[in-house]
Structure 1
C-alpha cells in the first residue's frame, strides 16, 4: 500500500463522523438495489408457486396424440416429464342433490399426473390400476347414495351432446349444464360404454374444477402399457428449461409430427418471464430498463452527494498533500481508493441489510395477502446468483460514477486554494449579483440568503440535484404504479362479481330476499338486460377508434353511424347504490327518460395485439340519444323514444361486461324501462359478491325446489385479484422505499451543507444578524431550494413518465394523463422536507459559540 493510500485510510479513521455518513449513504443505496432485485425475483417466485399450487406444474400440452407422436415428444431434448391424461367422459350420478351437477366426470392420469397436478388426498390411496378410482369429497356430501372406500360401482360412461344444432361435438367441463326455457335438461349422454370401478380413496375438490361444471371429478389411473397404438391421449409436458424459444420449438415439433392441437400454460409461463406476444415482451423489457435507470440515478445521487461532500471537507487535506509533492493522479487515486474502501465495507453490509429488510417486510406482507386473499403460498426471500450479481455490479458502477467527478475535482485543487478553502466560494460581483426585486419583496434576509447560495454554488447545486432526483424518483414510481394497475385492469375480463343467477320477477322475489339475507353476501345487483336495440349516432360523436376503420364511411347513413345499444335496468336499491358511487342524482334517474351512459370502453384489440381504453361516445350530460328496436318481421328499425344523458361514467355496474367500439351501455331504472315499453321479458340477473362464494352457492343450492342456473366465477377471477393485490403491495412498498431513500438523501445533503457553513453563519451573527433575521434567511433559502428543484424536477419527471407510458403503449392503449394528485403531494412535500431539514440543521448551528466557530478552519 503506498503512502497516499495509507494517509487516506488514516484520514477516514480520524474523521469518523464523515466516514460513517458516507458509509451509511452507500449502504442505503446498495440495500435499495438489493431490495428491488429481491422483491422482483421473490414476487415472480410467489406467483409461480401459487400458480403451480392452484393449477399444477406444466408448460406445453399436446392434445389427441397417438403412440408414435408420444414417443417423438418423449425423445425431444427439452422434455423433462410427460403427464399422460385422458377424458373418459361423463356418467350419471345417482341421487345427486345438486340439480346443476347431475354427472360424474371421469379423468385418467398416469403416475406423473398425480405428482404434477394439485390432487390432494383426503382418505385412502391414489388409484394404481385403470379399474380403480378416487372420488371427490363433494360427491359424498352431495349424493344421496352412500359411497365408501372399497365399493365397486358400475357406470355408463359417455359424451355430453347438446340438443342444440349450434353446439357441435362433445362438451367438456367448461360448458355448464344445458337447460331449456322450462329449466329441463337439454342434453344427453351418447356413445356410452359400461365400466366397473373400485373406490380406493377420496380427494378434495380439485382447483381446476370450475364451479359451474356439471360433473363432479372422479380420477382413475392411466396405464401407458395398456394403450393401443392408435388410442389418443393428451400429453402435458414439463420442460427442462423454460425459455422464450419454447413456443417455436413446440410448434416445430407439432408440425413435424402432425400434431393438430398445441396449448401453453400462459398463466405459469409469464412468471418465468416467458411471453409469446412481441408487444408484451417489448413492454416488459422497456419497463425493466426504465425502472433500473431510475434506481441507478437515485443511487448515483445518494452516493455522489456523500463523496462530493467528503471531497469538499477533505479539500484542505488534499491541498496539504499537493504542497508536499502529491501529483494530480495521486490525489485522484486517493478519492478512488476511498470509494474502494467504503465500497468494500458497504456493499456486503448493504446486501445483507437489503435481504434482511425484505425478510422482515415479507413477514408482515404474508399475513395481509394470506388473510385477505386466501393465497396458500408465502412470500419468501428468493436469492438468485443473478439478482445478487446485478446488485453488486450496479453498486460498483454507481460508486465509480459517484467518485469520478469528485476525483476529477480533487486532482485540480491547487495547494494554495485548498489550504485557504476558497474553491467553493465565488466572490466576483457577477457571481453573487441578486435582483433588487428580491430585496424589496422579501427583505434583506432573503437577499443575504440568495447571495449565500450563489457564493456556495456547488453545495447549493448538490442540494437542488438531490431534490430534483427525489422528485423524479417519487413521481416516476407513483406513475408506474398507477399505470401498472391500470394495465392490469384493462387485461381483466370484466367479471366484477362472484356469483351470477337467473331469477324470475315476481315468482322468485322471496328467493332473492332469502339469498340477500345470507351473512356472506356483501354486495348485490339485480339487473334486467335489454339487447337488440340500436341508435344512429352523429358521425362527430362516434368514438375515434371507429373513425379510423376502413369501413366506417361505408356504414354511415345520412352522416350517422349505427350503434348497438345494451340497455340495463337496475332495481331501486341497486340503482341507488350505483348512483351514490358515481355522484349521480337517483331521483332524476327515476323521473322521466333519464339514463347513465358508460362513455369509456376497455377491450382487447386482437389485430394490434393491445388492450385498449377509449371513449365509447363523445356526448355531454343533457344531450339525448334516439333508441330503435329491431322489427324482424319488416326487417327495419322501429323508433322507440329519446333518452336523456343524466350522467357519464367509465364505471360499470356489477354484472355488465362492457361494450366495444360501435356499441354503448346505458343504465336506467326499472320505471324508465317500463316507460320505454319493454315489459315483455320477465327474467332478471342477480349478481352477488360474497366473503365465501363457494359456501354461498352451496346454501343457495340447498334451498328447496331451486333449479336455477347458477354460475360461480369466483375462482376464475381470484388469481387476477391476487395478482393485482400483490402487485399493489409490491409497487406501493417500492414507493415507500424510494420516498424514504429520497428523504434520507435530502436530510443528509442539507444537514452536511449547513454544518459546512458554521463560519459563515458566525460571521453574520458577529455583524449583528438577530435570531429572527437568521430564521427568516433560512426560511427564504428553503423556498429558493424548493422553487429551483420544482422548476427542474417537474419537467424531467414528466419526461420520465412519458417514457414509461410509451413503454406500456406496446401492449396497452389509453390516453396519457398526469398524476396531478401526486404532483400536489410532491410540491407540498418538497417545501416541508427542505424547511424541516434546514430548521433542524440550523438549530444545531445556533448552539455554536461565535468565537469558536470563527476560529474553526475545517470540520
Structure 2
C-alpha cells in the first residue's frame, strides 16, 4: 500500500519530486568531482615526486661493496634495490631500496641496517614520498595532516550538502503534514510514515546519484584536461594523467547515499513525531510566528511589497541555504577577481614591468666561479644582444657618521631610516656591502655608460639608501647614503671582520648596471671588475656558488627570438657546465597561465556555490506550489489581480538575489581597501583595472536564474484552480 501511495504521489507532484532529484544529482555530482580531483591531485603529486626525486623509499650509505645489493634483496619485504650512481663515490656506496609493503619502512630499515652493520645515522627516508602514501615516522609526535585535511574537507562538504538537500525534502514533506495526520489518525505508525518517506527518497534519489557520480567523474576528467591545457607552456611541468580508482567510486556513492539518507531522515523523523491532531490542523501554509512590518518594501512597492516581505520572512528558514550560498559565491567571486587584479598589478610593478628592459634570457651556471667560466667571449659574441656575466659576493663596510650625506642627516640619520638594519661596532656603523663582480668587458661597458675611467683598480659604489620616512616600499624614493667626499672604501670579511681591504672609489652612482637584481634597501652595493676581485678575493671570500649570464635582446624580443638565444647559449656552454635557463617572455606566459588556472578553479567553486543557491531557490519555488496556492488564491479572491501576483514574485526574486549583493558589496569594498592599503598601491591604479565587467556578468546571471525560478513557480500557481485551492481538506 505504501509503495503504491509513494509512486502515486511522485507522479502527481512532479515539481516537488524534481527539486529532490535535482538536489540529489547536484550532491552526487559535486562529491564525485571533489573526490576525483582529490585522488588525481594526490596521484599527480606522487608522480611528480617520483619523476623529480626517484621512487626510492629508504636509503643506506656505507663503505660496503656492490655485493650488498643481493644481501638486501634477501629481506622478505624488499621489492627492489638499486645503487645510486650520482651519490655514490669511491669511499661510500649509496643504495636505494623499495619495499613491497610501504607501511613497514620505518620498522624494516633499522633491521636491515643492523644486519649490514650500519649505523642508524647512515639511514635516510624519502619522507616526502612516504608522507604522500600516508606513512609517517612513528617517532614523530606531530599527527599527519594530509589525511585529516582530506577527511575534514569531505565531512564539511557532506554536512553542507545535507543542509541543502534537507531543504528540498523538508519542503516536499511539510506540504504533506495534513495528509500524514489523517493517515496517523486511522492507524499508521510513526515507523511506517518514516519508512514511506525514506522509500520515496530512495526511489527519487538512486538514479540521480548514479548519474551524478558518472557526470562528476567526467567533469573531473575535463578539469584535469583543462589544467593540462592551461599549463602546457610551462617548461618542465609533469603532465597530469586522469585516473579513477574503484575506491573513489565507492567512497563517492557511499558519501552521496549517506548524505541523501540523512537529508531525508531528518524531516521524516520530525514529521513522524507530530501527533495526529497537530498534523490534521496543519494546512501546509507558511505563517509568520510573529507579525513584523516590512517598511522599506511597503514604502517602495506598496501593498505587494508588504505581502512579499512577509512571505519571505515566513520562508526564511527554507531560503537560508540560498542566502548563504549566494552570499558566499558573490563574495568569493568578487574577492577572487579583486585579489588577482591586485596581485597582477603588484607583480608587474615588482617584476615584469620593472625588469622588462633589464633582461630577456638568464642562465645560471651552477657551482662555477666567474673566473672559471671559459665561455665569456663566446657568450658576448651573440649577435643583436647585450650580455653580462657576473657573480655575487658578500662583505661588510664600516662607515663613520661624519661620512653620511646631508640628505640622510636631515632625515634623522641612518637609525631613523634603516632602524635595526645597521649596527654600531667600534664607533662605526657596520653596513652590508654586497659585491657584484662583472666580467671585465661588461664592467668596462658599464663604466663608459656612466662616464668613469675603467682602467684603474677600484669600486663603483651604489650611493643610495631608501627614504623610508617619505616613501613606501611600492613607490620608493632614494637619497644619497654617503657624502661622496672619501676617495676609498674599506671592505671586511663577513665572518672574520679583522680581514679587511681598502679599495679606491672609482665613482659614486645612483644608476646600477642593467641586471636582474634586487638591491637591499640599506646597503652599500659595490660593483667590481673581475680583475679587481682577483686581487681581494682571498681576503673577502664568500662568493655565491653560481655565476649568472644576463642577456638583453636588442632587436626582436618575441618568444621565438628569445628561444633562439637560449639555444645558442646552451650550445656554447655545452656539457662542461650544469646550468638552468630562464626566459622572461616565457616566464610571463607561465605566470599568466597559472593565474588563469587559479581563476578558473576558484571561479568554478564560486559558480558551484551559486548553483547550489539557485538550486535551492528552484527547489523552494517549485516545491511551494502546494503550500502557497491557498495563499495566492485568498489574495485573488479579495481582488488581487494576476499583475499584482506577478509583482509579488518579482519583489521576492529581487530581494533573494539582491540581498546577498547588498551584503557583499560593502564587505568587498572594505576588503579591497584593506588590500590596497596593505600593498601600498595607488587606488586609481586599481580602479582603472577593476574587474567590473566579469563581476557584473556573474551578478546578472544570478539575477536571471532566480527570476527564472520564480517565473516557473509563478506560472504553475497562476494555473491552479481557485476553488480547489481554497478547500481546507486538500489531501492529494
In the alignment, the residues of structure 1 paired with residue 148 and residue 118 of structure 2 have an alpha-carbon distance, to the nearest angstrom, of 37
Q: Which has the higher strand share?
A: 1
- Structure 1 residues 285 and 362: CA distance shift in structure 2, 3 A: closer
Deviations 1:420-456 (A, max 9, x none): 653542256xx132154553466443322211223xx
Measure the CA separation in 2 of the matches of 1:36 and 1:597.
Answer: 50
Aligned to 2:98: 238
Aligned equivalent of 1:835, options 703, 710, 717:
703
Partner of 2:403: none
- Structure 1 CA distance for aligned equivalents of residues 229 and 695 of structure 2: 35
Q: Is the 8 A contact 1:463 1:750 kept in 2?
A: yes
Say if 1:567 and 1:384 are closer, same or farther in 2 by CA, change over 3 A.
farther
What aligned pairs does 1:422-441 form with structure 2 within 5 A after superposition? 422-426=283-287, 431-436=290-295, 439-440=298-299
- Quick one: which of 59, 62, 65 aligns to 2:60? 62
What secondary structure, in the 3-state scheme, does the structure 1 residue paired with 2:195 have?
A: helix
Q: How does 1:473-622 map to 2 (within 5 A)?
A: 499-500=363-364, 511=381, 513-514=383-384, 532=395, 538=415, 564=432, 566=434, 621-622=476-477
- Kindly tell me: are residues 634 and 14 of structure 1, through their superposed partners in 2, closer, same or farther at Cα, counting changes over 3 Å? closer
Tell me the CA shift for residue 406 of structure 1: 1.0
Query: Which runs of no fewer than 5 residues in structure 2 stay unpaired?
Result: 348-358, 400-412, 443-461, 484-488, 493-497, 532-546, 553-557, 669-677, 680-686
Q: Do the aligned residues in 1 keep the contact of 2:322 with 2:616 (CA within 8 Å)?
A: yes
Given candidates 250, 258, 262, the residue that maps to 2:118 is 258
What's the CA shift string for 1:705-745, capped at 9, x where partnerless?
99997722569x99x99997998499448626734642552
Cα distance, 1:307 vs. partner?
Answer: 1.0
Question: Which has the higher mean CA deviation after the structures are superposed, 829-838 or 75-84?
Answer: 829-838
Aligned counterpart, 1:224: none
Aligned twin of 2:491: 631
Aligned to 2:304: 445
Residues 1:383 and 2:245 are matched in the alignment: yes
Alpha-carbon distance between aligned partners in 2 of 1:564 and 1:727, rounded to the nearest angstrom: 41
Is 1:49 the counterpart of 2:47 in the alignment?
Answer: yes
Cα displacement string for residues 488-514 of structure 1 (whole angstroms, at most 9, x for unaligned residues): x9xxxxx9976237799x988963554
* Structure 1 CA distance for aligned equivalents of residues 694 and 394 of structure 2: 48
Q: Against the structure 1 CA distance between its residues 433 and 47, is the aligned structure 2 distance closer, same or farther, given a 3 Å change threshold? A: closer
1:462 match: secondary structure: coil
Q: Could you list the runs of 5+ residues in structure 1 that have no partner in the other structure? A: 89-106, 108-169, 171-190, 192-230, 490-494, 517-523, 547-551, 572-591, 600-616, 646-652, 667-672, 798-813
1:852 aligns with 2:721: yes
Aligned length, in residue pairs: 608
Distance 1:358 1:777 in 2: 41
Q: Is structure 2 residue 264 aligned with structure 1 residue 403?
A: yes
TM-fit CA distance, 1:834: 5.5
Query: SS where residue 176 of structure 2 aligns?
Result: helix
Asked if the contact 1:57/1:238 (under 8 Å) is kept, the reply is yes
Contact (CA 8 Å) 1:5, 1:334: kept in 2 or not? yes
Find the residue that maps to 2:317 and give its secondary structure: helix
Q: TM-score, normalised by structure 1?
A: 0.55
Q: 1:24 aligns with which of 22, 27, 51?
A: 22
State the partner residue of 2:612: 742
Which of 300, 320, 323 lines up with 1:467 in the alignment? 323
Structure 2 match to 1:686:
550
User: Which secondary structure does the structure 2 equivalent of 1:235 belong to?
Assistant: strand
Query: Which SS does the other structure have where 2:56 is aligned?
Result: coil
In structure 1, distance between residues paired with 2:133 and 2:562: 31
User: Which of these residues, 164, 170, 189, is aligned with residue 327 of structure 1?
Assistant: 189
Report the Cα distance in structure 2 between the residues aligned to 1:822 and 1:414, rounded to whole angstroms. Answer: 58
Q: 1:274 to 1:449 in 2, by over 3 A?
A: same
The partner residue of 2:198 within 336, 355, 362 is 336
Tell me which protein shows more helix as a share of its residues.
2
What SS does the corresponding residue of 1:460 show, helix, strand or coil? Answer: coil
Q: Cα offset for 1:85?
A: 4.7
SS at match of 2:293: coil
Separation of aligned partners in 1, 2:165 and 2:599: 28
**C-alpha distance 707-298 of structure 1, shift in aligned 2 (>3 A):** closer
1:475 touches 1:822 (CA, 8 Å); kept in 2?
A: no
User: How do 1:138-287 and structure 2 match up within 5 A?
Assistant: 233-243=93-103, 246-247=105-106, 249-250=108-109, 253-254=112-113, 257-259=117-119, 261-265=122-126, 268-269=129-130, 271-274=132-135, 282-285=144-147, 287=149
8 Å contact from structure 1 (residues 8, 334) kept in 2: yes
Q: Within 2, Cα distance between the matches of 1:362 and 1:788?
A: 35
Structure 2 CA distance for aligned equivalents of residues 29 and 525 of structure 1: 59
- Structure 1 position 238, deviation (Å): 1.6
Q: Could you tell me how far apart the structure 1 residues matched to 2:516 and 2:307 are?
A: 65
- Correspondence 1:392 to 2:392: no
Quick one: structure 1 residues 850 and 391, their matched pair in 2 at CA, closer, same or farther if it must change by over 3 Å? closer
Larger CA deviation: 839-848 vs 461-470: 839-848
Tell me: higher relative CO, structure 1 or 2? Use CA pairs within 8 A at least 6 residues apart: 2
Supply the distance in 1 between the matched residues of 2:476 and 2:184 (Cα, whole angstroms).
77
SS at match of 2:292: coil
Q: Deviation of residue 310 (structure 1)?
A: 1.8
